[in-house]
Amino acid sequence: MKKLWGSTVFGVAKVVDAIFKGLIFVTGGIVSIGQTIKSILIPIVLLLVFLAFLNPFLLIMAGSILIPLAIVLILVFIIPFIGNIAVSSLKYYKYTVTEFLYDYADFYRLSKGTKTSYKEYGNRYRREQEEKRRKEQEERQRADNARWEKIFEEFFRSQQGYNQGGYQGG
């Protein structure tokens, strides 16, 4: 009976995992499209603002277009921001829910592991994300240090050549 329950939970976990992957994919696509549209619209909006300052009468003539344009601009700027928050939240919930369900299923199916509270999976996800950010920060710091060391070495090498009479100006 326990193995049947474990297999059922495992199947539910697979379905939930697929649903979350689909939601993350769709939300990420919407955010990507929004960011692309934003990168296209920013120069156009700046041009329109510049033209409006040159000729304020354009604002009066284009008054009927301004409200829909403002709504579109607000949406284009808000969707990527809210979408990024939604994607990171979906990734968090995908990890916590699916890992909990997979481990719960393994506990009954394979008599493997121990029951862990759902809250512990959230804490584990946060620790893993923090560790990932810390490693990326260290890698960026190492790359920056190597780049600056190379710049200083090249600078001092060129200065030594100049001081030793290597410069043949004329």
- List pLDDT tens digits, range 71-89: 877 888 888 888 889 999 9
One-letter amino acid at 141 equals Q
Residue indicated by tokens 């810390």: 134
Look at residue 161 and tell me whether its pLDDT is greater than 70.
Answer: no
**What whole-number distance in Å separates Cα of residue 99 and Cα of residue 127?**
15
Characterize 46-55 residue by residue with b for buried, 16 or more Cβ atoms within 10 angstroms of its Cβ, and e for exposed.
eebeeeeeee
- List pLDDT tens digits, range 8-66: 988 999 999 999 999 999 999 988 988 888 888 888 878 877 877 777 776 666 666 77
Q: Which of 82, 89, 79 is nearest to 35 (CA)?
A: 79
One-letter amino acid at 148 equals W
Q: How far apart are the first and last CA of the chain?
A: 94
- List pLDDT tens digits, range 134-157: 999 999 999 888 898 888 888 777
